[in-house]
Amino acid sequence: MFDAIVIGAGVIGCSIARELSRYDIKIGVLESEVDVATGSSGANSAIVHAGYDCQAGSMMARMNVWGNSLYDVVSKELDVPFKRIGSLVLAFDEEDMNEIQKLFEQGQKNGVPGLKILSAQEVLQMEPNINSNIIAALWAPSAGITCPYELTVAMAENAIQNGVEFFLGYGVENIKRDGNIFNIKTTQGEFKTKYIINCAGVFSDDINRMLGGEEFKIIPRRGEYCLYDRKLGDMVKRVIFQPPSSLGKGVLVTPTVDGNLLIGPNAVDIDTKEDTSTTSWGLNFVYTKALRTIPSLGRRDVIRVFSGIRAVADTGDFILGASDEIPGLFYAAGICSPGLSAAPAIGQYMAELVYKYAGNINAKFNFNPYRKGIPRFRELNWSEKEKLIKGDNRYGQIVCRCETVTEGQIIEAINRPLPALTIDAIKRRTRAGMGRCQGGFCTPKIMEILNRERGIPLDEITKGSGRSYIVSGRIKEGLRGDK
């Protein structure tokens, strides 16, 4: 029997779980996938937006600006990368100038600090590689970049440190209410709880229909991206936007916290909530749009393409709060962009709502807000590397050459409280396989380590969820079967 169950282990669900763990209650998190951050939390622009492009007075605006202000503290507490590098929205003509003037005025209403409209000369001094045909830009110094999946993993691990239980691979099939208790049937068992916090992303309207709560619809909106090799990571030093459209913030060009260059996304409403395919026309659109920002940008150094799906609510805003129809049900739904930026604030906001609703729970006197991440071997100096290797010589064995990831890092990822048991889960925690060869060299070695450390047969190791097996069996056994 749980006091509260969070449905969904994306960045929003994990942020709420972490904040709820400040209270002396029993908390569970149900996630249909085999790891956290497998949906839109693991496939987005990784931008911590300033908050100027959210409609004034909206929940999006409030959570964005509040969440942005929390990132310096949260990133230090959870040992995740965050860089407050600022953002620019470029204007190429008078129509664009009118748009950035509107964004400037809206940002002031939203309380975004430090906004300025800069001249073309000022912008080109800051970013000499961008299109020299610009006439001005909106400068937002509070914008930043982070790693969304590292943040999600960190929030989950810190929640576990503080007593939260995670149930991965537990897809919700049905929910019924019996008096004041919810009975949740999942693919791997049943759960009882007093309160439910619905953070199921693109499936949050499906969860709501099971309960018979307020009607809303989630529209899946796919965005495609191109990721470049790190040698292009210094082409721009800030997040560079073009003026937004009705479908989103437009195609951006940005450095990542790990030194790559990222361009995208497009924005296409789709019918299937799990369609994360990429398309030639979609990627061509992204590249063509990015050329307007950086005319010299080539395609040769793209090392990966991917897409993510945003959960866009038909209400036009985040859906946050307690249900008026179902006592004990809370919503954190329709969290599209700027959801990553807003995540720390949404966590606090929703935990406070549950606290006030429950009325008889106490703050946990021994809550620990700190979590130490896996050492980032590539970023250490020689003295730090030497010390780490002396403590455990497996940190001296390089497994992923592209990203300089060691055996020690991979073993730690496998054996942490939220263990990484798939190739993608290890990638999200260590960056093994994220380099130029995209795991071509290191995947077999990682499989051997998983087999050795956890006893998972090689033909049962998956890339991610479902039946994404990497090998089907031994060659000799296959040949014998053919005879």
Which sequence positions are flagged as catalytic? 49
Cα dihedral: 309, 315, 320, 321 (round 10): -140
- Bridge partner list, 268: 222
> Given phi > 0 = left and psi -120 to 50 = alpha, else beta, which region is 189?
left
The single-letter code of the amino acid at 348 is: Q
Q: Is 90 helix (H, G, I), strand (E, B) or coil?
A: strand
Give CA–CA dist 231/235, Å, rounded. 9
- The answer to whether the beta carbons of residues 311 and 220 sit under 8 Å apart is yes
For residue 189, what is the enclosing H or E element? strand 189-198
Give CA–CA dist 309/289, Å, rounded. 20
Give CA–CA dist 349/345, Å, rounded. 6
Q: Which two three-digit tokens encode residue 400?
A: 């992923």
Q: Which residues contact 403 (CB under 8 A, 6 or more apart)?
A: 378, 430, 431, 432, 433, 434, 435
The single-letter code of the amino acid at 218 is: I
Q: Which residues contact 475 (CB under 8 A, 6 or more apart)?
A: none
Give CA–CA dist 177/191, Å, rounded. 12
